[in-house]
A and B are shown apart, each in its own frame.
Chain A
Amino acid sequence: MTSWMQVKVKGLTGSLEVEPLGQNAESLAYVYAINLAKPLPKGEYLTILVDTIQLHASYPKPAYASQTDSHFRVYEADGLLLSPYETTSQRLRFKAPTPSIRSYHISHTLEDLAKEEPVVKSGATVTFGPFKSQPPTATKGFNRTPYRVSVDFEMNIPSLTVVSLNRSVEVSHWGANMNTQDDYMLRNDAPELKGQFSRLDFQMAQHARRMSPVIISAVTLQLPSGAQNPYYFDLVGNVSTSAFRPAAKPSSERAARLGPQNAQLDLKPRYPLMGGWNYTFTVGWDAPLGDSAHWDEKNGRWILAVPFMTPLPSTPVDKAEVRVILPEGATDITVHPPFDVSLMERSTHITYLDTIGRPAFTFHAENLTEVHDGLIYITYKVPLAAHLQKPLAVGIASLIVFSVMWTLKRVDMTIHK
């Protein structure tokens, strides 16, 4: 599943514009158009680099593993590039996280196309090809099945997936605070635990420090440097096993030595996450509003920058929903998400002692990775009256209550004396 694509000209900085054209009705291939900065003169050549990120591209094999087993995954792919053009030479290079590669496989059809040695393994890298010249493959009659390649490699890093992430960001000008709260649903995508979990084996492995790397007993979130008052809870209450390491104060010596740093939140789930296990939790923190909001004096507007998400290292997010709640009475709002989100909604959010509610924007997106941690920019105006609305409302309400009590106390309601 392609989650992200970036195109560059080799040797130049800055990426080229990519325009998705959707699925081609004839060849059933998804087509993208790349707009070159200037037309390429005939006879000259240009090297274009296309980076894409694919999610859930490998699967565990075997599908079940015990607590102490090392774990292997299989990556399968087309050996030939889908292309509307003729390809004179191509090869596929696969780099595994470890040199421990159990096997690799190339189909016979593809083997015959190879110019020399069809497959070469060196260290953690497996190279398929190079292959001979090919006619355009993104055509109606092309069958990809005979051209598959696969690699069976050992995985020694956790394969975690965020099944869903709900972020809610609330801005308060009175408190000069921006509160961020994330609801995570995690799943360990390592092979499912064979049999049942044995605490004894787990504790012994932990003691001997030979715990399988795919068992997740803690995750670390990199929070913005100003983050404070973090909290971590799940459906049954506070999880007491978290540790928060705030960033060094900007004025301190350590900060000068180390440069800008993130605050870190070490989260230890209630139980170690074995393969196939789920865990849901909520984390939240406060940060000074000044760190992410800027007063644009020229236009008399606030400019707010909200991170779309706080990525976990090499962990895809299947579904994300980000909700930004602006102060009550914010008007004249413009919204700029960092990438094309699948859906954007406006709603009204009512919280403590609000009278008319706050404007809120919800962004829905799927299949995100670390590269998607861009900023949502929102600009808005808050008139002075809106700032004063809440204290006035509370003041008037209390006044009414007290005057009613005062009146009742002074009215004689006895029928006869």
Chain B
Amino acid sequence: MTILKLPTFAPSTLTNAASLIRILALAFIAGAAISSRLFAVINFESIIHEFDPWFNYRATRVLASQGFTEFWNWFDPTAWYPLGRVVGGTIYPGLMATSGVIYNILHALHLPVDIRNVCVLLAPGFSGLTAWATYMLTKELKDESAGLLAAIFIGIAPGYISRSVAGSYDNEAIAIFLLMITFYIWIRALKDGSVLYGTLAAVFYFYMVAAWGGYAFITNMIPLHAFVLLLMGRFSHRLYSAYSAWYAVGTLASMQVPFVGFQPVLTSEHMAALGVFGLLQLVAFVETIRNLLASKQFQLMLRWFLIAAGVAGGLIIVGLTVTKTIAPWTGRFYSLWDTGYAKKYIPIIASVSEHQPTAWPAFFMDLHMLIFLFPAGVVLCFKELREEHVFVIIYSVMASYFAGVMVRLMLTLTPVVCMTAAIALSSLLDTYLNVDEPANPDANGVKETATSGAETPVDGTISKKKKKGVAAAAAAAAVTPSIATKAKGRSSAENGIFGIDTRILVIGNAIFMLVMFVLHCTWVTSTAYSSPSVVLASRRPDGSQNIIDDFREAYYWLRQNTPQDSVVMSWWDYGYQIAGMADRPTLVDNNTWNNTHIATVGKAMSSPEEISYPILRKHDVDYILVIFGGLIGYSGDDVNKFLWMVRIAQGVWPDEIKESNYFTPRGEYKVDDQASEAMKNSLMYKMSYYRFNDLFSGAPAFDRVRNQQMPKEGPKLDYIEEAFTSENWIVRIYKVKKEDPLGRDLKTAHAFDGGKRRKPSKPISRRKALAA
């Protein structure tokens, strides 16, 4: 019984058409994924975004212009002045190598694309590949239609777009593709028990290790999957060969990345993979023995063997940890388990906004309706519970936890949410788009409802509601994917949906949700995730766009009008940008490897001038750069970040810098009349508000970020002088004065230049006496 007569085609026509449509759909999905990431280019320009991408871009330029060897051995003397930085050994080179290869291929084909455009468009390009990889993986879980849904979900989900818009040239840009393709190949390897695929998974794993620090997620996910399969009693030789191939090749390959080095055998994060590898060998050994020995002997032997092996293995690991051969968990890792850990012990990690725990609305903002479909999809995975379903269940549990702990890890949750949501939605559509009606409606008592609906149209709405309930139940019953239905043939389905109205209602609702999802994604992408943050946009009163370009103005000024070797001090956030755009040495940058150096900068910023000055001179600082948003209301400025500088400095010099001194007695963070003395005397405060009062020509100055009225008397500077201020006062650059040639301290010298006499004191009277 069907509700609709479908035209019939030859099976080969159907397969061919379906395959063509699939290819076309995938092509369009890749197109949608790429084009939705181009908002930033269209609204602004082809520019590298934010902070870290500026370093990656700079490194890529070195790679493209000087070749790989030169890049590999690159020592950058301008970073972390005066220490310098061994760049080749302290980065994940995968991203730069990828761009370099693409750049060289394009140039070999006589397509002289600028390296900047390669870098800007790398993330959108790889998002197309991610869509394809997600399609392949979801296809393994359910079928092609679920795969296509997953592909379009991952293509436009804001959770992934947030890290892969054009210009967001960061490791995550390629890492998510590598994550998905590695998982897909792992599943293929596991399904076939193929050593070839296991090795291929290892190759992509190596690429991932070379590209992103988040590779530890794969390093622990695959062993966890293998371990859970073991516990479920699903050990097989397929698992053994796939895992062994992946682990052996993958680990050796990953150790070739200099930044990773011997970590895979020396740190706790990697021990799970090693442990599972050993366990699998034991189990495989035991399995072999079982086939050779009688059952009783085997029991006895097994017990002793397992106890001995377990104890020995445990002792070895504990022993190695105690003797510090295996490094204990790093602080970054602890902060994943205890969200308060970083704030207490490593303020530098806590000071980064993307390391904060996720707020609930962020889940909806980044995933929209997928977050509701996600649990349904996970439940559906339990229905069949093949090996790959186990994988997805583990993945969803782990990723959900991590996404809750750190905003940044929303990124790893997004793919699994897209896959499971696609499974759920595709099951729903399979059920409701199936034109067959159940053969024997009486069996489950659905008939009454259906007929009553047909007979009494007055109760139409009520019965529809009822029907919806029934339909939902039926859907739940029929969710066992369409394979089951297909197998049974068209006419003999036991479970199914009656009537066409329910179908239209449910499918209409699903389509409505999908449309809302697309609108939401577009809106979020265009408004929230497409700002380069180097260039700011505001609206003029007439609605036209006004570009605020203060950062580049100031950086370019530094680049053009200061000596090549002048050292610029700023808070570490701007280190990479100064190196990239201004091309000047910096004290600290976004590669926050040296906490003491950062604390030194924090101390210089939060101390009074006369204490900071020796620090500045000792570090050869020529210019100091601060970000000040008080004039136009740019809230991400240095005064708002100031407490972190104080905290980090306090961590190293607890006697000299105290956070509480920077608050008012009532515990408020103020910059106005009531601001504390430490605050008012700090270099940061002085540099931010220097001559700010004069701008208001008599009227009291008003800070539009803190919404506070400034004191009448503005700060005075003796040891440094204003060198440049950008158009909207966002970037202010100060020059550090050299020591006074007459040997006076700079405060006295400045007072003298200002025409202020020193109070008459003894030396003058003595001179008078001499003259007399």
Contacts and interface: CB of A to CB of B under 8 A. Distances in A.
A354 interface: yes
Contacts of B726: 199, 271
Given A200-B691, A350-B110, A236 B556 contact: yes
A278 B559 CA distance: 10
B111 A353 contact: yes
Contacts of A196: 721-724, 735
Interface stretch (B220-228, B255-263, B478-486, B547-555): B547-555
B547 A240 contact: yes
Nearest to A193: B561
A200 B725 contact: yes
A43 interface: no
Central interface residue in B111, B556, B559, by most chain A CB within 10 Å: B556
Contacts of B45: 237-238
Contacts of A200: 691, 694-695, 725
A197 interface: yes
Interface string B687-705: 0000100110000000000
B55 to A, nearest CB: 15
Given A278-B561, A351-B110, A354-B110, A234 B722 contact: no
A197 B733 CA distance: 10
A270 B110 contact: no
Given A195-B721, A196-B721, A200-B695, A280 B47 contact: no
Given A199-B725, A199-B729, A241 B549 contact: yes
Contacts of A406: none
B110 A352 contact: yes
Contacts of A280: 560
Interface string A115-139: 0000000000000000000000000
A398 to B, nearest CB: 12
A366 B393 CA distance: 72
A355 interface: yes
Given A196-B735, A197-B723, A270-B549, A277 B561 contact: yes
B725 A198 contact: yes
A270 B556 contact: yes
Contacts of A241: 547, 549
A197 B732 CA distance: 11
A302 interface: no
B581 interface: yes
Contacts of A350: 110, 112
Contacts of B695: 200, 203
Given A196-B724, A353-B110, A353-B111, A235 B556 contact: yes
B75 to A, nearest CB: 23
Interface string A271-293: 10000011110000000000000
Interface in A173-217: 195-200, 203
Interface in B532-554: 535, 547, 549, 552-554
Interface in B94-153: 109-112
Contacts of B535: 240
Interface string A350-368: 1111110000000000000
B557 interface: yes
B729 A277 contact: no
Contacts of B694: 200
Interface residues of B, number: 32
A198 to B, nearest CB: 6
B456 to A, nearest CB: 60
A279 B721 contact: no
Given A199-B726, A200-B691, A271 B111 contact: no
A270 B731 CA distance: 13
Interface in A250-265: none
A277 B562 CA distance: 9
A237 B552 contact: yes
A170 to B, nearest CB: 12
B110 A277 contact: no
A237 B560 contact: no
B47 A237 contact: yes
Contacts of B555: 236
With most chain B CB atoms within 10 A of its CB, the pick from A195, A199, A352, A354 is: A199
A75 B255 CA distance: 70
Interface string B71-113: 0000000000000000000000000000000000000011110
B722 A236 contact: no
A248 B738 CA distance: 56
Interface in A322-376: 350-355
B724 A271 contact: yes
A279 to B, nearest CB: 6
B111 A278 contact: no
A351 B112 CA distance: 6
A46 B45 CA distance: 63
Nearest to B48: A237
Nearest to B47: A237
A177 to B, nearest CB: 17
A203 B692 CA distance: 13
B556 A234 contact: yes
Residue picked from B47, B109, B724, most chain A C-beta under 10 Å: B724
Contacts of B724: 196-197, 199, 271
Contacts of B109: 353
A278 B560 contact: yes
Nearest to B547: A240
A355 B552 CA distance: 39
A350 B107 CA distance: 10
A271 B721 CA distance: 19
Nearest to A185: B560
A408 B549 CA distance: 52
A241 B695 CA distance: 24
Interface in B664-696: 691, 694-695
A271 B556 contact: yes
A352 B556 contact: no
Contacts of B557: 270-271
Nearest to B583: A235
A208 to B, nearest CB: 11
A236 B578 CA distance: 11
A195 B724 CA distance: 11
A214 to B, nearest CB: 16
A350 B110 CA distance: 7
Nearest to B581: A236
Contacts of B691: 198, 200
A355 B110 contact: yes
Contact of A236 (B111, B112, B552): B552
A238 B535 CA distance: 10
Interface centre among A271, A351, A354 (most CB of B within 10 A): A271
A131 B554 CA distance: 55
A238 B549 CA distance: 10
A271 B733 CA distance: 13
Interface string B556-587: 11011100000000000000000001000000
B112 A270 contact: no
Contacts of A353: 109-111
Contacts of B727: 199, 271
Contact of B549 (A198, A235, A240, A278): A240
Q: Which of A197, A236, A355 has the most CB of B within 10 A?
A: A236
A154 to B, nearest CB: 26
A213 B556 CA distance: 23
A236 B535 CA distance: 11
B560 to A, nearest CB: 5
8 contacts: A196-B723, A197-B724, A235-B556, A240-B535, A270-B556, A270-B557, A271-B553, A355-B110
Interface of B: 45-47, 109-112, 535, 547, 549, 552-557, 559-561, 581, 691, 694-695, 721-727, 729, 735
The 6 closest A-B pairs by CB, nearest first: A199-B725, A240-B547, A270-B553, A238-B45, A196-B723, A236-B581
Given A240-B549, A271-B554, 13 more contacts: A196-B723, A198-B691, A200-B694, A203-B695, A235-B559, A236-B552, A236-B559, A237-B552, A240-B535, A240-B547, A277-B561, A280-B560, A353-B111
